[in-house]
Amino acid sequence: MKSEPQPIARKVLIVDDEPQNLKLVGEILRRANISFILALNGREALEAVLTEQPDLILLDVMMPELDGFDVCAKLKSLPETASIPVIFLSAASSPAEIVSGFTAGAVDYIKKPFVREELLARVFTHLNLSATQKKIKAEAEAKAELLARLAHDIKNPSGAIKGLTQYIAEELKSSQYENLEEMLSMTELIRDSAEGMSDLVIGILNEAQADADASQRVVTEAIQVIDVIDYLLQLNYLQAKEKDVHLKFNKAFTPELAISRRILVEMFDNLINNAIKYSKPESTVQIRLIHSLILPHGMRFEVIDQAQTIAPERRATLFEAFVRADTSELSTSQSHGVGLSIVRRLVTMNNGKVGVEPRANDAGNRFYIELPL
């Protein structure tokens, strides 16, 4: 006997006001090893869809109170259920009724009484089509996130390179060479920034080619956290100087982390860069490295700014993609609100915690990252 094609996902909601019809369709799906849930009317169907999130709905048309057309139209109007495919089951098959079904949002129409093989063929087809669409959507979202990460995290080192080379050019034009040592330090920082940018691109592209979870956790050696912070202080020095923002670093201990240096740079740099960007001129950004306040055995990285205090309703969504703090008047640079969403994803991937708290007396904000040691 020819085996049925196997769908990737298979939970089906069967909706019919006749218990015998539910039993018949349920038995056909059970024998095909497809899990299912049942609903006796339109209202039960709407509740079941929201709680169970089925992969496919077999929906009777003629039902009391709320018929199949109304149920389908309602489902297609809700963002969380709009993508679930609906197949109508109906004893009537007039052209007008079929058109009404497709107009309501159905993907197929099966006439009662149906043949078992026909029902299963259509169920398998639409389950696999739905799974394929979900896969394509997930791949598109992953690609969009990859591009957002590349664009965002290249901005800071490339900005540092631009600012440093401009500073050196002005020094050379003045024909004053008293600051040769400082200029040498800046050229080394340019080199480090360029190398960091190259490593970032290579690392993210490699990650896109492999399994994300596995690649993020491949670590060859322990990372000295203080070395990463020192590098980022140099990287952000010129931007802070241009805004008259003072960077102050305090450390309670010098931890090591089993983590990719690239990922640690991404996480910390986003917080430092944002603090400088949104802080008031002639203010101080404090960077603290202390023992964890949340994790039993961990470290806490804090960036404390003197920017406008972020409102509670903004803090709740600040780490979502494309959300910006309402402090644009303090920054002249463009921001697309992807940096903090990248930080949250990387921190979560490494079993840590990230968040923001208001400082006392509305004196600014305290961003923190907690990571296990």
Backbone angles phi, psi at 39, to 5 degrees: -145, 140
Q: CA 217, 221, 226, 228 torsion: positive or negative?
A: negative
Write out pLDDT tens, residues 233-246: 888 887 888 889 99
For 348, residues 6+ apart whose C-beta sits below 8 A from its C-beta are 354
Backbone angles phi, psi at 13, to 5 degrees: -95, 125
Residue 272 is predicted with a pLDDT of: 93
- The answer to whether residues 74 and 67 touch, using CB atoms and an 8 Å cutoff, is no
Identify the pLDDT of residue 57. 93
Query: Can you give the pTM of this predicted structure?
Result: 0.49
Number of Cβ within 10 Å of residue 82's Cβ equals 10
What pLDDT, on a 0 to 100 scale, did the predictor assign at position 129? Answer: 87
CB 72 within 8 A of CB 106: yes
Neighbours of 13 (CB within 10 A): 22
How high is the pLDDT of residue 354?
Answer: 93
Domains of the chain with CATH codes: 11-137 (3.40.50.2300), 218-373 (3.30.565.10)
Low-confidence ranges of the chain (pLDDT < 50): 1-2, 7-8, 211-220, 327-336
Which pLDDT value is given to residue 195?
Answer: 65
pLDDT at 336: 40
Phi/psi-derived region of residue 330, left when phi > 0, alpha when psi is between -120 and 50, beta in every other case:
alpha
Task: Write down the pLDDT at residue 208.
Answer: 54
| CA-to-CA dists, residue 51 to 81, 106, 127, 171, 334, angstroms | 11, 21, 19, 66, 41
Helix (H) or strand (E) holding 44: helix 42-52
User: What are the phi and psi torsion angles at 98 (to 5°)?
Assistant: -65, -45
Q: Which residues pair with 365 in a beta bridge?
A: 358
Please enumerate, as own/partner, the contacts of 347-354 that have beta carbons within 8 Å and a separation of 24 or more.
347/267, 347/371, 349/212, 349/213, 349/216, 349/217, 350/216, 350/217, 350/259, 350/263, 352/295, 352/298, 353/294, 353/295, 354/267, 354/319
pLDDT score of 99: 84
Q: Are 229 and 268 spatial neighbours (Cβ–Cβ below 8 Å)?
A: yes
C-alpha dihedral sign at 254, 256, 257, 263: positive
